[in-house]
Amino acid sequence: MKLPQAQVALLRAADANEDRRIADVADEADVKRETATGAAFELEDEGLVTVSEETVESVSLTDEGRQYLGEGLPEVRFYRAAIDAGAADEPADMGTVIGGAGLEGDAVDIALSNFARKGYGEIDSGSVHADPDADPDEDPEAAALAAVESGDAGEADSDVLYQLERRGLVERSESTVRSIRLTDDGVTALMEGVEAAETVGELTPELLTSGEWEDVEFAEYNVEADAEPVQGGKEHVLRQTANRVKDVLVGMGFKEMQGPHADAQFWINDCLFMPQDHPARTHWDQFALSNPQEIDHLPEDLVERVRSAHREGVGEDGEGYHSPWTEDVARRVDLRGHTTSLSMRYLSGEQIGDLEPPERYFSVEKVYRNDTLDPTHLLEFFQIEGWVMAEDLSVRDLMGTFTEFYEQFGITDLEFKPHYNPYTEPSFELFGTHPETGEIVEVGNSGIFRDEVLEPLGVDCDVMAWGLSLERLLMLMYGFEDIRDVHGTLADLELLRETEVVY
Ligand code: PHE
């Protein structure tokens, strides 16, 4: 019978009458231990040996244990110093003995408590009395430390070992030891004769040119063997999902918007008919920039029309807010709390010139809010912004668009709830069901822009719009429960490594 070299070596070293440790057999046969273990399993597959396993406990010294083995246990050093200080005859000063033993820090307490416990002597109000009959050379714990070091832990007294473990001087660990034993078939094979086959693991140019490939035996592939997992870099699931969202929206006829992360409150709030004393405009909600504090350019005509909408309202029945409105506030720069600032820039013509209906735009970009961190809130997250500009849009168009969009991600149980936004009427919040917890999760906010928003922008048809959370979409798709699993220092690396965004 021809077998790979390692298997032959192992087979010859194995015994039919007793288990032999693979490690010992490997050392004897001069085969690497890992190779031997692999070979043993292959021989077992061929029925030539049996492999057995046992869990063995081993005891080893901790760093502290090793230190004491070298310099002596603190209590032993203390005892010797006490004898030197004459404490066997007359009480000696404790400070002197500590100094004489060269003990410092924690070692002092360790020495004192064990000195008394082991009966090396007594300590009473600062004076030390040493027992002249104690023999530090016979200290059982010192002996056990030495035994553990030389691999003879089995010979040490179990109570003493326990004591050393309690003191943190030794530690126990478990390992699996595998042994092999020849089967009857193995014995037969050996008697009939086994020889080492030169197996070749790789076809090389030399084998090809020399023609040797015709004679060699190739090692068989074990397609069931566990391979070492390789963790390469990969695109973050959030980025993968963002790209997928972009693909879907482009497929639905949308174009992408781009614009500043830090922007004038004018674009973030004023164009959206949010009064300047609206609570969402304070530092409780939005981050303000200290440099630059103000934007340089705002389109003058638009500023005037927006001011008028806020002060006087829009249309015949317009009322406005009757609250103060200043351009100074509008010029202040904040980190955008939503990407609706981009929608305002595009709809006003500021970004790419005037647009004619029908038009559809989207962005998948970061927004920043001064929220309190919790499982569903971060200080920054990705918003899927979008709008459709057309004649005669209704709520059905809005719902239909969301249904079509979320279906692409396998989410078919959307729910809509009437809502309030200063800038849309009607408005709807969107909800989906969490696949793991069954909870209803808010995934977005939407509506149809009010005249007070559209008229100053110079848009005279309908515009429906929305802001959806990318992270919440991801939650519904993959079922994780804490947004911090995918962001920041608490991120769940396994989730990030293993989640596949497929569509
Ligand atoms: N800006 C809203 C938010 O951040 C989303 C939205 C955009 C709602 C456009 C209506 C219209 O929640």
pLDDT digits (tens, 9 = 90+) for 362-393: 999 999 999 888 887 888 899 999 999 999 99
The length of the chain, given as a count of residues: 503
Does the Cβ of 444 fall within 6 Å of ligand 1?
A: no
Residue with tokens 């063997």: 225
Q: Which amino acid is at 138?
A: E
CB 464 within 8 A of CB 447: yes
Q: Cβ(467) to ligand 1 under 6 A?
A: yes
Q: Is 363 in the pocket of ligand 1 (CB under 6 A)?
A: no
pLDDT digits (tens, 9 = 90+) for 127-170: 999 999 999 999 999 999 999 998 888 788 889 999 999 999 99
Specify the pairing of strand 359-368 against strand 255-256.
parallel
In the chain, the amino acid numbered 503 is Y
147 Cβ below 6 A of ligand 1: no
Q: CA-to-CA distance for 403 and 406, rounded, in angstroms?
A: 5
pLDDT-derived band of residue 398, with 50, 70 and 90 as boundaries?
A: very high
pLDDT over 80 (residue 14): yes
Higher-confidence position of 31 and 290: 290
Q: Is 313 left (phi over 0), alpha (psi -120 to 50) or beta?
A: left
C-alpha distance from residue 272 to each of 176, 281, 330, 455 (Å): 68, 12, 12, 11
Report whether pLDDT(293) > 90: yes
Which pLDDT score, from 0 to 100, does residue 427 have? Answer: 97
- How many C-beta atoms lie closer than 10 Å to residue 302's C-beta? 20
Question: Is the pLDDT at 175 greater than 90, yes or no?
Answer: no
Hey, whose CA ends up nearest to atom 8 of ligand 1?
446
**Stretch 409-425: mean pLDDT:** 95
Over range 253-279, report the average pLDDT.
96
Q: Mean pLDDT throughout 302-311?
A: 96
Residue 340 has pLDDT above 80, yes or no: yes
Instruction: Identify whether the C-beta of residue 197 lies closer than 8 Å to the C-beta of residue 2.
Output: yes
Q: Which long-range contacts (CB under 8 A, 24 or more apart) does 375-380 make?
A: 375/481, 375/482, 375/483, 375/484, 376/441, 376/472, 376/483, 377/483, 378/471, 378/483, 378/484, 378/487, 378/488
Q: Cα separation of 307 and 77, whole Å?
A: 87
- The model's pTM: 0.60
Residue with the bigger pLDDT between 458 and 281: it is 458
* Tokens coding 444: 């977005």
According to DSSP, residue 153 is labeled G
Q: Is the pLDDT of residue 73 over 90?
A: yes
286 ligand 1 Cβ < 6 A: no
Q: How confident is the model at residue 84 (pLDDT cuts 50, 70, 90)?
A: very high
Please say if the pLDDT value at position 46 is more than 70.
yes
Q: Point out the least confidently predicted range of 129-143, 188-202, 398-412, 443-457.
A: 188-202
Residue 201 has pLDDT above 90, yes or no: no
Position 56 pLDDT exceeds 90: no
Q: Which pLDDT does position 502 carry in this prediction?
A: 67
Of 41-45, 298-302, 338-342, 385-389, minimum mean pLDDT range: 41-45
- Name the residue with tokens 């990705």: 382
Cβ–Cβ under 8 Å, residues 433 and 440 = yes
Q: Whose CA is nearest to atom 10 of ligand 1?
A: 446
Are β-strands 92-93 and 255-256 bridged in parallel, bridged antiparallel, or unpaired?
A: unpaired
**What does the pLDDT look like over 312-321, one tens digit per residue?**
999 998 889 9
**Quick one: average pLDDT of 458-474?**
96
Strands 217-218 and 199-200, how do they pair?
Answer: parallel
Dist CA 315 CA 2 (whole Å): 96
Q: Ligand 1, closest atom to CA 387? A: 9
Given a cut of 90, whether residue 4 has pLDDT beyond it is no
The residue whose CB lies within 8 Å of the most ligand 1 atoms, and thus the one to mutate among 466, 468, 471, is 466
- Predicted confidence at residue 419, as pLDDT, reads 96
Distance in angstroms (rounded) separating the CA atoms of residues 249 and 360: 9
469 lines ligand 1 (CB under 6 A): no
Q: What percent of the chain has pLDDT over 90?
A: 69
Task: Name the burial class of residue 7, with classes exposed (0-12), middle (13-18) and buried (19+) by CB atoms within 10 angstroms of its CB.
Answer: buried
Statement: residue 298 has pLDDT above 80? yes
The better pLDDT of the pair 97, 216 is held by: 97
Q: Which residues of 27-48 are buried (b: 16+ CB within 10 A; e: fewer)?
A: eebebeeebbbbbbbbbbebeb
Mean pLDDT (the chain) is 91
Task: Supply 281's token pair.
Answer: 């405009």
Q: What is the mean pLDDT of residues 290-298?
A: 93
User: What is the radius of gyration, based on Cα positions, of the chain?
Assistant: 39
Q: What is the biggest distance separating any 2 CA atoms in the chain, rounded to whole angstroms? A: 112
How sure is the predictor about 32, in pLDDT bands with cuts at 50, 70 and 90?
confident
